[in-house]
A and B are shown apart, each in its own frame.
Chain A
């Protein structure tokens, strides 16, 4: 016997999907800005290990001379990115969704077990609610990262007017590096996130659009919360 189980409230789904193109535009326009002065490398003991973006990448994307375009888009979409983030945090705080999302005292130990399970090293995963321990940590971290991007962004956008903020972020130079590193973090998160979504399957993916999961009631209900009402 199939049953509908409500999973993600409408606001959670909307903020999630609105954020997807917004973050895409922010990364793209941010790179147009970064490419005006492409300096960051990973250099250890005088040997450069990572120089971001090889030449073919520049050629393929027509990168030079697009700094002003990048800035114009970045400074417009930062509003939507920030407002969407604030709205999401307010909603989770007021609706009580935060209870599913914030890591608790078991999360850090459990996340390790989840990782072992995902890597097929361990057969069973720890019991979970709406999100598992690794998800709790990842989804909370990504919100903190978003806040970090906004704050470091403001620190390099108006370093004189927000000089206290720039100081707090470790100075202009460091704020810029943090801002860049966070972007790398999003790309990494995105890759892992998409892989996990593919692995988790259709029912899980659908719930982020339709809001519900389909469960089979005659099966023993393992790891599923049943305290939520159907509407």
Chain B
């Protein structure tokens, strides 16, 4: 039936007709795309919780994308490439002081571990240093895009957990770490926290940590961007819900995994 109608049209009419249809559809799709973009760009902010700061649909996409890649690729045996110690930079770049800029008495410092049963465990630096030290020279990656080969030394998180009998706690989904002044905090999925290269670091370039790099104890988690590498750890918690995360509240991906 359509064909018959076509035959009766002249070439000019057919050209006009097809132009009208295709440009009409093109214009309509263009307008729809623009409308969709405007909708997305002005979509409501997510409800502030452990994450905030971004548009709700974008947050959904970030979470889904991260889950997709985790299911596809995450394997705790995927190790971060390590380098010979000579390749480590002498001047380690320093970006932020949030949470590590208040004054604390370093001699009084203890790591507070809040266990499942509500019991609190306090660990001082000597107890941590008494356990086997692990050195790690790896390419530290900042979410801003710079990277540096850095040399850290400390206690593997795995060794820490094993020694202090936290197996029950680490069977939960998340670990939360907070600075003593509670100004900076990160939430970590347990597989990343328990990654065989995750360190509770107390040394940088073979010397005790300088204050601006997180004295007395900081996290070095090579499977995450630098924003997750909390300086000056105060307390450690465990949960099946995502703990609050400073940069995720500013709109960054919660996992920030590499």
Instruction: Flag whether A39 is at the interface (Cβ < 8 A).
Output: yes
Closest to A180 in B: B145
Q: CB < 8 Å: which of A4, A75, A159, A210 contacts B141?
A: A159
B178-214 CB contact bits vs A (8 Å, 1 = yes)?
0000000000000000000000000000000000000
A45-79 CB contact bits vs B (8 Å, 1 = yes)?
00000000000000000000001110111011001
Given A3-B11, A37-B144, A210-B22, residue A79 in contact with residue B65 (CB < 8 A): yes
State the CA gap A34–B78 with chains docked (Å).
Answer: 27
Instruction: Flag whether B142 is at the interface (Cβ < 8 A).
Output: yes
Given A4-B14, A39-B146, residue A76 in contact with residue B61 (CB < 8 A): yes
B66-89 CB contact bits vs A (8 Å, 1 = yes)?
000100011100111100000000
Q: CB < 8 Å: which of B58, B142, B144 contacts A73?
A: B58
Q: Are B61 and A36 in touch, CB under 8 angstroms?
A: no
State the CA gap A214–B11 with chains docked (Å).
Answer: 10
Q: Are B11 and A4 in touch, CB under 8 angstroms?
A: yes
Residues of A with C-beta under 8 A to B61: 72, 75-76
Instruction: Flag whether B15 is at the interface (Cβ < 8 A).
Output: yes
Name the prevailing secondary structure of the A interface residues.
helix
The stretch among B156-164, B234-242, B246-254 that forms the contact with chain A is: B246-254
Closest to A211 in B: B22
Q: Are A71 and B144 in touch, CB under 8 angstroms?
A: no
Q: Are A209 and B53 in touch, CB under 8 angstroms?
A: no
Q: Are A158 and B69 in touch, CB under 8 angstroms?
A: yes
**CB proximity of A13 to chain B, nearest CB, Å:** 8
**CB proximity of B89 to chain A, nearest CB, Å:** 13
Q: Using a CB-CB cutoff of 8 Å, which residues 191-223 of chain A contact chain B?
A: 206, 209-212, 214
Q: Are B54 and A209 in touch, CB under 8 angstroms?
A: no
State the CA gap A158–B225 with chains docked (Å).
Answer: 10
Q: Are B58 and A172 in touch, CB under 8 angstroms?
A: no
Q: CB < 8 Å: which of A3, A68, A162 contacts B251?
A: A68
Q: CB < 8 Å: which of B12, B22, B69, B247 contacts A161?
A: B69
Q: Are A71 and B252 in touch, CB under 8 angstroms?
A: yes
Given A36-B145, A37-B142, A73-B58, residue A209 in contact with residue B26 (CB < 8 A): yes
**CB proximity of B254 to chain A, nearest CB, Å:** 11
Residues of B with C-beta under 8 A to A163: 78, 81
State the CA gap A1–B18 with chains docked (Å).
Answer: 18
Residues of A with C-beta under 8 A to B14: 4
Instruction: Flag whether B143 is at the interface (Cβ < 8 A).
Output: yes
Instruction: Flag whether A168 is at the interface (Cβ < 8 A).
Output: no
**CB proximity of A155 to chain B, nearest CB, Å:** 11
Closest to A25 in B: B37
Given A68-B53, A79-B65, A209-B22, residue A21 in contact with residue B78 (CB < 8 A): no
Given A21-B33, A36-B145, A75-B62, residue A206 in contact with residue B74 (CB < 8 A): no
Closest to B138 in A: A160
Instruction: Flag whether B55 is at the interface (Cβ < 8 A).
Output: yes
**Supplied contacts A206-B19, A211-B22, 18 more A-B pairs, CB within 8 Å:** A2-B15, A3-B11, A4-B11, A34-B145, A67-B252, A68-B250, A68-B252, A69-B251, A71-B253, A72-B59, A72-B62, A73-B58, A159-B141, A161-B74, A163-B78, A172-B139, A172-B147, A173-B147
List 10 contacting pairs A-B, 8 Å CB cutoff, sorted by A. A1-B11, A4-B15, A33-B145, A36-B144, A72-B54, A72-B58, A76-B61, A79-B65, A158-B69, A163-B78
A contacts, CB < 8 Å to B: 1-4, 17, 21, 25, 33-34, 36-37, 39, 67-69, 71-73, 75-76, 79, 157-163, 172-173, 176, 206, 209-212, 214
